[in-house]
Amino acid sequence: MTKKVLLTGASGFLGWNFCKQFSTNYELVGTYFRHQPTDIDINWVKINLLNTPEISKLIERIQPDIVVHLAAITKPAFCEEHPALSHHINVYTAVAVAEASQKAGIPMLFSSTDLVFNGTSGPYTEDDFSYPLSQYGLQKQMAEESLLGDFEHVFVARLPLMFGETPPYTTNFYTQTIKNLQEGQPIRAFIDEYRTMISASVASTWLQKLIEYALDTTPIGEQKEYLLHLGGSESCSRYEFALKMAKAFELDKQLIVPTLQKELDLVPARPADVSLDSSLASKSLLYKAPSLDEQLSLLKPISKESE
C-alpha cells in the first residue's frame, strides 16, 4: 500500500524538488502558505504554521503515515533581523509538529542545517559539539535538542548548502551564479567558506532513503540512528563550486571574483568550514552522494533550457 506523506514546506526549494522527484512514490500532501506550485500534481493544503493548533488538526484530518517537516525560515539575515518570528517558526512550530505526530503515533523527519556548527573544525560528525554563530543556526540547534530529547519518534537530518533548479518564485546561489555568467556579469564567490554541498535532487534522494528508514518496522539488530548528516561526498568552497559550474555549463570563469568573507559586511557572520561527515548516513541508509561534477552534469540540460 502506498504510504501517505505529509510534507510541510512543500512549496519551498527542497520540498518542491522532492515532490517533483517522488510524487509517484507516495501519496503526497504538501503544505504551502504564499505560493502554491501549479506544476506539481499533489494534494495541496494552505496553512499558516504560526497558528500551531492547526497543525494537530491537519494531521488528524490527513492521517499520514509520516510527517516530513521542511517548513522553516531559512535565510540567516532575516532570522537576525526578526528573531522572535523566526524562532516561532523554526522552534515552536517544529515542536508542535512533533507533539502532533507523537499523538498520532507516526514518525517525523525534521530538516536541520550544517550551520549549527561554528566552522572551526570541519568536517563534523553527528557526535561533534554544535556551536552556531547565527540566530538561524541557534534556532535549528534548539529545535534539534528539543525534538531528540523529548520525543522518541523524530529523525533529524542535517543538510548542507543545496543547489539546483528552483520554483519560479525563488532563487539561490546556484541560479544567481548561472544567470550572472550567462549575462556576462561578474559574481563574487567566497574562497574561505567550505560546505559539503549537494543538489536538491540528491537531497531529495537522501530524504526518500530516510523516509523508508523511518517507516521500516522490520526488527533489526542495531538501534536506529535518529540524527544523521545528509551531505555531499566532497568539501568545496563557493569559489571552487562556481568554477565547476562555469566549466560544466561552458561559461566564462573569468567573471567569477574570488572573495574573502571579511571583504563584505556580512550579518550574521558565516562559519569557515561546516563540512559534514555523512559516513554514518551512508552506512545506515545505504546511499552516498555522487560527486559535484556528476551532479552538475545531470543539471546541465535544465540550465540550458532556462537560457
Round to whole Å and give the CA distance between 230 and 244: 21
| b/e 94-103 (16+ beta carbons within 10 angstroms → b) | bbbbbbbbbe
**Which letter does DSSP use for residue 219 in this model?**
-
Question: Would you say residue 190 lies in a domain?
Answer: no
Helix 13-22 / helix 200-215 crossing angle, nearest 10 deg: 70
- Cell numbers standing for residue 19: 515532490
CATH code at position 84: 3.40.50.720
CB atoms within 10 A of CB 240: 18
Question: Would you say residue 252 lies in a domain?
Answer: no
Question: Would you say residue 74 lies in a domain?
Answer: yes
Question: How high is the pLDDT of residue 141?
Answer: 98
Question: How high is the pLDDT of residue 304?
Answer: 45
- Cell numbers standing for residue 279: 559516513
Question: Would you say residue 250 lies in a domain?
Answer: no
How many domains does the chain contain in total? 1
Question: How high is the pLDDT of residue 246?
Answer: 95
DSSP helix/strand/coil, 185? coil
- Is residue 10 within 8 A of residue 32, CB to CB? The reply is yes
The pair phi, psi for residue 261, each rounded to 5°, is: -60, -35
Instruction: Say how many Å lie between the first and final Cα of the chain, rounded.
Output: 41
> β-strands 236-237, 162-163: how paired?
unpaired
Question: Would you say residue 221 lies in a domain?
Answer: yes
| C-alpha separations of 294 from 234, 243, 245 in Å | 12, 14, 11
Question: Would you say residue 23 lies in a domain?
Answer: yes
- Is residue 194 within 8 A of residue 275, CB to CB? The reply is yes
Question: How high is the pLDDT of residue 83?
Answer: 96
The range of the structural domain enclosing residue 106 comes to: 4-165+197-234+275-289
Question: How high is the pLDDT of residue 268?
Answer: 87
> β-strands 4-8, 154-159: how paired?
unpaired
One pLDDT digit (tens) per residue for the chain, 307 residues = 899 999 999 999 999 999 999 999 999 999 999 999 888 989 999 999 999 999 999 999 999 999 999 999 999 999 999 999 999 999 999 999 999 999 999 999 999 999 999 999 989 999 999 999 999 999 999 999 999 999 999 999 999 999 999 998 888 899 999 999 999 999 999 999 999 999 999 999 999 999 999 999 776 556 899 999 999 999 999 999 999 999 999 999 999 999 998 888 788 889 999 999 999 999 999 999 999 999 999 986 544 444 4
Burial of residue 27 (CB within 10 Å: 0-12, 13-18, 19+) is: middle
Question: Would you say residue 155 lies in a domain?
Answer: yes
Question: Would you say residue 270 lies in a domain?
Answer: no
Question: How high is the pLDDT of residue 305?
Answer: 46
